[in-house]
Chains A and B, each alone.
Chain A
Amino acid sequence: MNTQDLEKKFQDRIDAGEKIEPKDWMPEKYRKTHIRQISQHAHSEIVGMLPEGNWISRAPSLRRKVALLAKVQDEGGHGLYLYSAAETLGISRDELFNQLHTGKAKYSSIFNYPALTWADIGAIGWLVDGAAIINQVMLTRTSFGPYARAMVRICKEESFHQRQGYEILLTLCNGTEVQKAMAQDALNRWWWPSLMMFGPRDEESPNTAQSVKWKIKRKTNDELRQQFVDNTIPQAEILGITVPDPDLKWNEERGHYDFGAIDWSEFWNVVKGNGPCNKERLAARNAAWDNGAWVREAALAHSEKQAKREELKQAI
C-alpha cells in the first residue's frame, strides 16, 4: 500500500471509532503529535507536584496532610502512566525528561503560579483539577488506545481530587472571616490562569482542526472553557465567594455564562518563561534529576553485578 492508501485506511479506522494501538501503522505526524501531547501532559503532572508539595509539611491537620500527600503521590503516578504511554510511541523516558529539563518541552503554564496560602491548595484542587478533568474526560475517548486508557484511570482520581479541593474551600468558607478572606484571595488569583488552561481562542489555535479530525480533541478550546465556566460558577455561589470578573453574567439566550476578556498577553508571557515560578519549577526538576544521577547509576551498576553473579551461579 502506498502512503496515501495507508493514510486513508488509518482515517477510516478513526472515523469508525476504532482505537489506534502502538504497533499499528500511523502517520508520522500523528505519532509526533501524540508524543508531544502525552509528554506535555506527563510533565504537567510531575511539575504539578511542586506547588502543592510545598504545602505538605505545613498542612493544617493530620487528615488534610494525609489527603494532600496522597494527592501529590497520585500525580506522580499519573506521570508514570503517561510517560509509559509516550514510550509506546518509541521515545524513552530519559529523552522526555531531557526535553523538560532543557526547557524544550512545555508543561501546563498554570504550575508556574505560586501556591501561597492553604486556600490555594483548595483552589488548585477545585479549579485546576476541575479544568483538567474537562479536558481529560474528553481524552478518555481519544483515538490513541494507551492514552485513552491512561485517561480513564486518571480521571477517576482527578475527580476525587477536585471534590477534595472544593471541600477544603467549603470548610474555609464556613469558617472564620480570616479563612473566608483566604478563600476569596485564592479564587482571585487562580481564576484567570485556570481559564487560560484550555489554551488560546479557537481562531488562534492552529492545531485544533487536525486534532479534531484525529479525535485527539472532540471539542474546541473555547467550547471546553465555556463548559468549565458553566460548571464552576454555581459552585462558587455555594461557597459564597465571587469570581473576579465584572463582566460575568448568565446569558439566557445562549444558555451559558458570558465572561470577560482573558488577558492573553499574560498567558503568552508565562508560556515564554516569564511567569512567577517558571525558573523555580525547572530548577527544582533539574535539581531532583541531577542529585539523583548517582543513585540511578548505582541501581544500574548493582543490577548488572547481580546479573553477572546469577550467570556465574548458572555456570557452576
Chain B
Amino acid sequence: MKEKLYQYLLMLGDNSMILGHRLSELCGHGPSLETDIALTNHSLDLFGQVRSYFQYAAEVKGGEATEDSVAFLRYERDYLNTILVEQPNTDFAHVIGRQFLFDAYHLPLLEQLMESNDETIAAIAAKSIKESRYHLRFSSSWVKRLGDGTDESHQKMQAAINHLFPFIHELFRETPIEKEMKELGIGADLSLIKERFDEKIKEVFAEATLEIPQIPSRQVNGKIGIHTEQMGFILAELQYMQRAYPNMTW
C-alpha cells in the first residue's frame, strides 16, 4: 500500500515538475514581458506543488529520502508523468495548448483530490486549486485570443492542438495504481474528470473558433514510465548538478 501511494504521489508530482520545467525554459524569452512573468509564475506554482508532493513522498518512502532525492535521483523509467507535459515549447501556441489541456484536466483532478481520504493529499490539493483555477483562466483566455485572433495565430493554435490532442487520452486511461487509489478513496476517478474536461474543451474551442481534432490517440504510456525521446534531455538538465556533484549540499 505504501509503495502504491508513493507511486501515486510520483504521478501527481511528476506532471507538475515536468510541466514546470518546460515553462521554466521560457523564462526571459516570452513574447511580451507580461506573458513572460505570468508563465514563470505558473512554473513557480507548479514547483511549489512538486515540493509538497515530494516532501510527502519522501516521508512515505522513509529512510534517507528527501524531496530532492525524489525529484532528481530517479532513473528515467521511474518518472511517471504523462507524455503531454513533456512536449517541447515549439512555439507560443504549443505552450498555451499544452497548458490549457493540462489545466482542463488538472482543475477537476484537484477538486476531487480535495476530498481525498488522505489528509496530506487533500491539503495539497486545497492549496493548489486556487493556482490551478487561475492557470485555467489564463490558458483559456489565450487559446481564445490566438484561436480568434489573426489568420496566422488561428492556424498556429489549431496546428498546436492537432499535435497535442493525441496525447490527452493517456490522462484518462486508468492505470492499476490509479484504480486502487480511487477505490481506497485516496485518488481521483478519471472518468469524472473526463466529463468536465470535455465540456471545457467544447466551450473554449467554440469561442476560439477551433475545431476539436478527430485524431486517433497515440500509443503512449508515460504513467508507467515509458516516455518520449525528449525525456532523456529533460532529465539531463534537471539532474545535472545532482549527478555531476553527488552527495553535496546546495
Contacts and interface: CB of A to CB of B under 8 A. Distances in A.
B248 A175 contact: yes
B227 to A, nearest CB: 17
A50 interface: yes
B71 A62 contact: yes
A152 to B, nearest CB: 20
A61 B29 CA distance: 23
Given A62-B54, A118-B250, A302-B145, A53 B30 contact: no
B24 A69 contact: yes
A61 B68 contact: yes
Contacts of B211: none
Given A62-B67, A301-B149, A73 B37 contact: yes
Interface stretch (A216-224, A238-246, A290-298): A290-298
B92 A292 contact: yes
A175 B24 CA distance: 27
Interface stretch (B3-11, B39-47, B123-131, B165-173): B39-47
Interface residues of B, number: 47
A294 B156 CA distance: 10
B88 to A, nearest CB: 13
Contacts of A251: none
B146 interface: yes
B235 to A, nearest CB: 11
Contact of B91 (A46, A58, A178, A291): A291
Given A58-B237, A73-B41, A73-B44, A298 B248 contact: no
A58 to B, nearest CB: 5
Interface stretch (A22-30, A76-84, A194-202): A76-84
Contact of A297 (B27, B40, B153): B153
A46 B237 contact: no
A159 to B, nearest CB: 20
A231 to B, nearest CB: 25
Interface of A: 46, 49-50, 53, 56-66, 69-70, 72-73, 76-77, 79-80, 83, 118, 168, 171-172, 175-176, 178-179, 284, 287-289, 291-299, 301-303, 305
Given A72-B27, A179-B245, 17 more contacts: A49-B28, A53-B27, A58-B237, A58-B241, A65-B47, A69-B44, A69-B47, A79-B33, A118-B241, A289-B31, A291-B31, A292-B92, A295-B32, A298-B150, A298-B152, A303-B145, A305-B148
